[in-house]
Structures are given as C-alpha cells and as structure tokens.
Amino acid sequence: MERAAAAAGPAVEGGGVNRRAVRAASAAAGAGSRQPSTEALDSPTGSHVEWCKQLIAATISSQISGSVPSEGMSRDYREIQDGHNGYHSEAEPDQALRDGNKLAQMEEAPLFPGESIKVIAKDVMYICPFMGAVSGTLTVTDFRMYIKSVERDPPFVVDVPLGVISRVEKIGVQSHGDNSCGIEIVCKDMRNLRLAYKQEEQNRLEIFENLVTRAFPVSNGLPLFAFSYKEKFAVNGWKVYDPIVEYKRQGLPNESWKISKINSTYELCDTYPAILVVPTSVKDDDLSKVAAFRAKGRVPVLSWIHPESQATITRCSQPSVGPNDKRCKEDEKYLQTIMDANAQSHKLIIFDARQNSVADTNKAKGGGYESESAYPNAELVFLEIHNIHVMRESLRKLKEIVYPTIDETRWLSNVDSTHWLEYIRMLLAGAVRIADKIESGKTSVVVHCSDGWDRTAQLTALAMLMLDSYYRTIKGFEVLIEKEWISFGHRFAMRVGHGDDDHADADRSPIFLQFIDCVWQMTKQFPAAFEFNELFLITILDHLYSCLFGTFLCNCEKERLKEEVSTKTVSLWSYINSQLDEFTNPFYVNYENHVLYPVASLNHLELWVNYYVRWNPRMRPQVPIHQNLKELLAIRTELQKKVEDLQREAATRSISSSSDRGSSPSHSATPVHTSV
C-alpha cells in the first residue's frame, strides 16, 4: 500500500494492547520533532496497530516513522543487513559508515513477532501510477513486500502483505535507465504493482524467485505465515464463538429441535461442523439417509429460529434428484418435520439461490431441486442469483475501471457495465424475501444453492443480520461469520487461493467479499443500527487475504482441526477485540428486536469507493473519516459519563429528600430538576 511517513511523528502513548500506535494525519504533521516511543514501537501490538492502520486507512498520509530498534530485529535480518552493507557488526564504523548505517536503518522494514527478512535489494524502482517512478530499498520477508524511499519528504512507503498477491510476472521495462528488468504484481485487493531493477541485482538477490516462493508458500511446500506469527493479545479471539452458547442464546434446544453430535467425527458430512441442530424426532439412521440424498452430505440443519413464532432458517445443499426424478422418503419426511416444528404456518418455503435454468442443468448432471409433487407442502422459489464464475468475472471488470485510472466521463456507465451492483442488489433482495417470510409470514424457510457453501451462506447470514440485532454488534457479527461462514464450510482456501500460485483456478470467486459489501450497503441505509464501523469491515477483508491470522484459513472445520489452526495461529478477533474503540460506530443505537429491510434497489445502492478505489489518492477524502468517527466516539463517551454522573447525583438527592420528608413531615422538600 502506498503511504507517506512523517519524518518525525508524535510519541506513542501508553502500553498494552489498547495502545494507540497512530494518530490523525493532522496530529502527525504538527508534532514537530518529538520522537516516537521506542517501547511502543517495539511492542508487538504497537507495530501491528501501526501497520494495519497504514494498510487500511488509506486516507492517513502521515505516519510514525521510527525504526525498530536493533535489539528487536530478527537474527536473520541482522545477518543480511551486515552482508549487504559489506562490513562486520563488531568493527568500529567511521563517520561514513555511520551515515550509511543510519540510511539503511531508515529504510528498514518493520517486523512482526515471528517475521523474518528473506532478501533486501537497494535501488529498486517502484513505478507508481499516481506519482511516477520512486527509487528505494525493497525488502521481502516471509509476510510482506516492503519498499521505502527516503529520497522523498516525507518518506514514501509501499507495504504489501504477500497474501494479497495473486500473480507475479516478469515484464520488460524500457524507459527507466539501468533498471532493465521488471516485475508486475497483480493483487487480490484491487491494485497492481510494478517494480523495475538492474539485471545484475536480479541475479544476485533473486528478487523474483523470492517473491514467488514467499507469496505462494502452499505451492512451494511452505507453511502460511499465520503459523509463524507470534503476536500476543489480551483477548483470545478463538473463544468468540461457542456453538452451544450461540444456540442457547436462540433458545435451543427446545421440544422441536435438538443439538446433535452425530457429526462429531465428521462422518455424516465432512464439510459441516461437529455440532448441528436438527429436528428432535429425526433418528440418526434417517439423517444418514438424508445425507446420502443431499449433495456433499449437507443435510438441512437449523441456522436461526425466531424467538416468538419459532419459524426457522435451515440451510442445506441441493437434493440428488437427477434426470430420473429420484426421490427419498426420508428427505421428504425430514422437510415435513421442519415445517411441523413451526405451528404458525402449514407451509415451507424453499429458496433456491440459483437460476432456474442452471438448476435444470444441475438436475441433468445428478443434482436438482425439490419438486412440489414430492414435497406437497413446500413452495419452491428460485432467486436467480448467478454462479461463482459470473461473480469472478464481474469483479475483474470492476478492477479494470477503478485501477489505476478512472474515466470520469464514463464512470457511471462503466460501473453499470460490470453488473457488480446488480449482483449485490440480487443478494440483498433475496435476503429480504427470506427475512420477510420469517418475520411477517411466520413461515419456516429452507435455503440452498448447489453445494450450500457459497450463495447459501450469503443469504442466510444476511437474513439473520436483518432479523437479529445481536448480529449487528461487533461480537455478534464475529459470531455470525464464525457460524454461517467458517464452521459451515465456506471454502475460504479455495475461493481466495491462500498461498496458491494458480491464479487462473476456476474455483476462485469473491463470494465473501460480496457478503461484506452487502453488509456495508446496509450500514449506509441504517447508519445507527450497527455497532461496528467501516474500518471494521475493511479490516476483515484485508485479513481475508493477508494470511496473518488463522481465522479464514482452510475450507472447513475438519481441516482446521487437522491443521491445529486454533492453537498454532492467532485469531483476527484477538486483534480486533483488543482495541474495540477503533472499530466502534459512534452513532450506534441498539435497535433491539428491530428487523431491518434494506431497500434492494440500484437507486439506493452505491459503489463502495473507500474499499474498491482506496488506492487512488485522488479518491480519498481530505479529512480522514475514521479519525472523525473516533473523535465523535470520544465525545459520546464523555457525554455518557456526564449523564451517568448527573443521574447518580439526582438519585442521591432524591433519596436524601425522601429521608428528610420522612423525619420532618412538617417541612416540604424542594423538588430536584435534572436536565440532561
């Protein structure tokens, strides 16, 4: 990511995980010559907070510039630095050597705990599409690619997590003097990077080979960096989601639904979680037969239950009907049981996310959908949402029009031609229909697509967000992601391609990105209904790709258990929940029991510029929005404290007045009026 770093930034306050590592751009610019706190910068949490803000809040142009002290440097890094400067560290340096060392230190890459430098190259040219060519020092670690140029004031920095890289290619560079070799880096987060360097530098340092090896560790037999990352946080994010606790919050188990451990060894369905909620009356043998009839064994299981009507959202995969209209009496009885569990309605709505024509094609291949003749009390509704390949192509088109240049004269028509917002609209419209059937129709619904881990997750999670205010809190949203996406087997590794160099893999698709975009659209329409802010959503997306945390690794719960993800990596929620004020919406009002119905119309949707176009400096607001929100949050906290103090004072006076009246009935007490 491109950013400028102030030559002298403000001191970093405090200690521990809630330490502020970065102030507002205005504060940094006006800090004079105060030096950063060495202790804070060397702190794991301090360094991480700094990096994340620089990566995410692209509006911040001035950052802390202090270098990591040498004692905080990895051993590998010191050896490489000594080797490249051509001297031994124990030698007494002269003035020129001190100056050279000072310059090298200024260009050092900050390191996370567990991160090590693999290669350093000087005089590498970053060809910035907005500022022109910038020469600096390139550092490749096992986590990031870092370029820093101290020739500019303030210094210019490009800091890119290797996990966001989709493709690395050699290119020819003709117009940059001696820098005759080039690399083009295509990223998953809507930007491309170009580097140029001398031919002999390539041979000596093998820049290209190191980038490829470290950007695609899985393809090169190496572990993802998340397994090396050693940051310590005060909060354990792996404890955010406990399925038993979440189902208990929903009032489960009850007389109609039970918590089942039939999948405790993942034999019923290897992509489902170990703990499932199924109808009480269903026997395990029948459930196994239903699993055999459903694609990938993904039987209908409960996601959410309405606290009053008992109408439910259940999710599954398509039935294996095939071209011969095969039937399964256990599956038919199972769906009838789901309907019977809701006494408010004598109907079951099955929302098939796919296009009707695609479902017919799947039927010819052995899949299919529920016929109303086999399921007489069910109504089948096709939501006509396109498949993963269409979504991938739509995002590709969107990237073409937002990076690196924007055609202002055709902006609206170009956005429209990508169909991205149309697909967002279709997802929101489908989720609104599901939520409305539950809330207004008091009717239970079944949601599926083909395999039940892409469009199904999008729809169930969005509908639950609309129906349940708990999921609109920070912790609740984390639980929603852990539950509907991670535990129920959205194939994150396959859809994102963590550490895999096969950029043309047809299984890659921005399914989770679309979901977060839909959530952002809802926050725009209901700005006070969500406890979290925009930075929270962007942080989640950035770490979807970064491979810094273990939260989005692997394809299912069974794989994560095998890889010991929860014990060998850090959870993203550990980082977020250690500094909640960074991600809190100051306008939040807890609309408990309020159902949100966003307007799913293109007239009410907009392109998420702060995410998709954030790398273009011309599209950034002059005043950092996130900083304004933080200031408002501080004001809100201060006012809340004043209100609480006044309320306590009023209560004390009231008690005192009552006591006086009781002891002296002949004297009337003066009424107390409290104005807030």
Q: Just list the catalytic residues.
A: 449
SS3 content of the chain, % helix, strand, coil (to 5): 45, 15, 40
* Amino acid in the structure at residue 261: K
Q: Which region, left, alpha or beta, applies to residue 444 given φ > 0 means left and ψ of -120 to 50 means alpha?
A: beta
Tokens at 176, concatenated: 């940059």
* CB-based contact 311:442 (threshold 8 Å): yes
| CA neighbor of 316 nearest in space, from 334, 301, 333 | 301
Q: What are the residues whose beta carbons fall under 8 Å from the beta carbon of 339, sequence distance 6 or more?
A: 345, 346, 347, 348, 377, 378, 444
Q: What are the residues whose beta carbons fall under 8 Å from the beta carbon of 119, sequence distance 6 or more?
A: 80, 138, 139, 140, 205, 206, 207, 210
Calculate ∠ Cα 535-538-542, nearest 5°: 135
What is the spatial distance between Cα 428 and Cα 517, in angstroms, rounded to a whole number? 10
**DSSP-derived pairing of the beta strands 156-161 and 2-4:** antiparallel
Calculate ∠ Cα 184-5-16, nearest 5°: 110
Name the 3-class secondary structure at 121. Answer: strand
* CB-based contact 448:335 (threshold 8 Å): no
Calculate ∠ Cα 321-495-291, nearest 5°: 30
What is the spatial distance between Cα 508 and Cα 293, in angstroms, rounded to a whole number? 27
- CA 256 → CA 271, 305, 534, 634, distances in Å? 25, 11, 39, 47
Tokens at 469, concatenated: 């205010």
Q: What are the residues whose beta carbons fall under 8 Å from the beta carbon of 417, sequence distance 6 or more?
A: 397, 401
Tokens at 552, concatenated: 């989005």
Tell me 584's DSSP state: B
333 exposed, middle or buried (CB, 10 Å; 0-12, 13-18, 19+)? middle
